[in-house]
Amino acid sequence: MAFRIGIDVGGTFTDCALYDDDGGRLTIAKVLTTTQDPSIGVLTGLDALLRGDVASAADLSAAIHATTIATNTVIQRCGPTTALLTTKGFRDVLVIGRQKRWELYDNSIDKPQHVVPRNLIWEAPERVLYDGSIRDPLDEAAVRRAFEEMKAAGVRAVAICFLHSYANPGHEKRAAELAAEVASELVVSLSSEVSPTYREYERTSTTVLNAYVTPTVAAYVQKLEEGLRERDFSRRLFIMQSNGGIATTDVVQKFPIRILESGPAAGALTVSRFASVVGGGDLLSFDMGGTTAKLCLIEKGRPALTGQFEIDLVNMKKNSGLPVSIPAVDLVEIGSGGGSIARVELGMIRVGPQSAGSDPGPICYGRGGKRPTVTDADLVLGFLNPQNFLGGKMRLDAEAARRGIEEHVARRLGLSVEAAAWGIHEIVTTQMAQAARVVSVGKGKDPRNFAFVPFGGAGPVHGMRLAAMLNCRRVIFPQGAGVMSAIGLLMAEPAFDLVQTRVIRLDADSLPTINALYGELEARGRRQLAASGIDGDVQLRQSCDMRFAGQGYEIAVALPPGPYSGDDLEKLREAFFATYTATYGDRAFDRTAAIDGVHWRLTTVAATPGIRLEQTPPGRGAVPSGRRSIYVPERAGFVESPVYDRYNLGSGDVVEGPAVIEERESTVVLIPNSRATVDALGNIVVDIHA
């Protein structure tokens, strides 16, 4: 027997998916996240899936994990004491940052506060020039003193970031050797390894964050591996990276910055497989869990990637967070989930970003929660079944939810409990619609041209209303929507991103240089795969951050496979023009202008087996399993509506809204003027009529 397991840790629930490679069967489970030590919830979920005679840990051929441990460490500022060693004269790079304001007209805003204070930044006399030549040699005596002082100050991790080290990493590597001699207990991160690109602030920020989260992530991974070994698991544990690929724990413990967007990337990756359902492959992914909601645009079946994003933003404002220069799935994440807390401020209902999490959780969970949440509101509105939550494994207290909403929201605004609950539901949905417009309209894309794919535990409850706000006409509810990110982990492939900064003019004379550069990156990528024990067919995906000569910033351009000859020059230029037009619109520009390539990127991907989805037997006509009252604003109140068991629906069955379709891990709420059809793979495809 051969089984694979995917486990995704969220803020409220830990989702698990077990796949039988021989039989093609998929088994899923959902357990509460153990906030203080997420590894406990991971192992609990593993035990839940392996309970009985289904399989044992020894039968697992792979375990793939997505975790929020790195992200939470940064946001909560709970990492160890971390220092920075930088080039003399550049001590204030993190303090100065960029001249970008996240509120243009507010003079009282503060710059983002980094994880390393100024008093823990040391300088090293040395200077490497932009071309890699050495102007001033490294002062090794000064570096030794710096590490001695760090050790005395209780520093546990250090980032080493020297000027232009992407062009010549020699000084950084020598400084790391000195650290091993002077203070071997220090965890060291080198910018030439973490983010070998130019732009000093972003590279320094990325390296510092990598150093900051390394001890926490390493301890977590080691504990997880120990728990797996105790269960006789003998294969490799893989962890999802922000780019949608998976890596071994050895790589993750050295470069934990690569897993900041671990879970959200898995969800977007899963949604991309629904391209065939809508033909063109243009999808809007919506993942709503207990703590956050994530939205991602998928065009032609592939989620967009970005070379830089921010973490720990203030009110989702661009330039308010800490920059991270690594490849990642381009998505927006906001603090809106089933556990988001509702309250009254300035005479209005506010929802989130604070969350009740899993402990104590929403009031209706009966675990000590005192403040009303989105889940409590959805329960009062009739969208959730208090007797059948998580397939009946968890009972919800509807009366407690009503009392909480009445005390904290309804009474303060002079509303009925139902009106207050609907206000909570509508406000959180509106917040998510704003985020959806950021990833669609904000990028020049019309959401009406995209199919909407809601998933996560709370996504299907809010999905139809959100799609209607965006004027999306087709909505797809995948089978197993409540644990989609965990299922996505089973489809992920080992992938390593490599990058080299070198400003090269795109012309016939530069093609040999470009070929040699990609040859070096390919050799490094294959070595990384081999060192990780990963074999199989390797795919190479080439891209480059390019710009018109003289511009200050670049755009990421996917390139055709190399090596390149003179005949390919026009293809490379056309790839840039096409991306430029898609990014900035169809406008006139000089097609003979000079083009520069700046960051040359190569992704090495090792092929892995996917999963075969079972065909859904033909239906015999949808028959309700019961009825209950749900709130329908179009009908000005509660409406007795049919409730369907998703597992009793077959291919071709049709359900008209308003209605509720229940499954173990999530609940689909259909709105009026919508028609749902079950496809051959068990997905619910809904068309919204005007």
d(CA 383, CA 395): 14
Instruction: Please report the pLDDT score of residue 279 as a whole number.
Output: 59
CATH of the domain at 140: 3.40.1360
Domain's final residue, options 606, 635, 664: 606
Start-to-end CA span in the chain (Å): 50
Closest to 583 measured CA to CA, from 435, 444, 448? 444
Whether residue 229 sits in one domain with residue 202: no
Whether residue 78 sits in one domain with residue 67: no
pLDDT band at 358 (very low <50, low <70, confident <90, very high): confident
pLDDT band at 351 (very low <50, low <70, confident <90, very high): very high
Whether residue 9 sits in one domain with residue 30: yes
Domain's final residue, options 193, 217, 241: 217
pLDDT band at 51 (very low <50, low <70, confident <90, very high): confident
For residue 53, is pLDDT > 60? no
Whether residue 533 sits in one domain with residue 630: no
Least confident of 51-65, 319-333, 456-470: 51-65
* β-strand pairing of 237-240 with 60-66: parallel
CATH of the domain at 27: 3.30.420.40
Whether residue 123 sits in one domain with residue 57: no
For residue 52, is pLDDT > 70? no
Domain's final residue, options 201, 217, 233: 217
Q: Could you tell me if residue 619 is inside a domain?
A: no
Overall average pLDDT of the 164-168 stretch: 93
Please classify residue 552 by burial: count the beta carbons closer than 10 Å to its beta carbon, then call 0-12 exposed, 13-18 middle and 19+ buried: exposed
Instruction: Please report the pLDDT score of residue 1 as a whole number.
Output: 57
Asked whether the beta carbons of 250 and 297 are under 8 A apart, the reply is: no
Q: Could you tell me if residue 616 is inside a domain?
A: no
Number of structural domains, the chain?
A: 5
644: amino acid identity, one letter: Y
Instruction: Give the global pTM.
Output: 0.85
Whether residue 93 sits in one domain with residue 21: no
Q: Which of 162-171, 325-334, 616-625 has the highest mean pLDDT?
A: 162-171
Q: Could you tell me if residue 294 is inside a domain?
A: no
pLDDT above 70 coverage of the chain, percent: 98
Give the tens place of pLDDT for each residue, 525-534: 888 777 777 7
Spatial CB neighbours of 116, under 8 Å, sequence gap ≥ 6: 82, 83, 84, 94, 159, 208, 212
Instruction: Please report the pLDDT score of residue 104 as a whole number.
Output: 82
Q: Could you tell me if residue 311 is inside a domain?
A: no
d(CA 493, CA 508): 35
Least confident of 181-195, 239-253, 276-290, 572-586: 276-290
* β-strand pairing of 331-334 with 157-161: unpaired
Instruction: Please report the pLDDT score of residue 141 as a whole number.
Output: 97
Instruction: Please report the pLDDT score of residue 328 as a whole number.
Output: 87
Q: Could you tell me if residue 304 is inside a domain?
A: no
Domain containing residue 24: 3-73+218-259
Do you find a cis peptide bond into 658, omega within 30 degrees of 0? yes
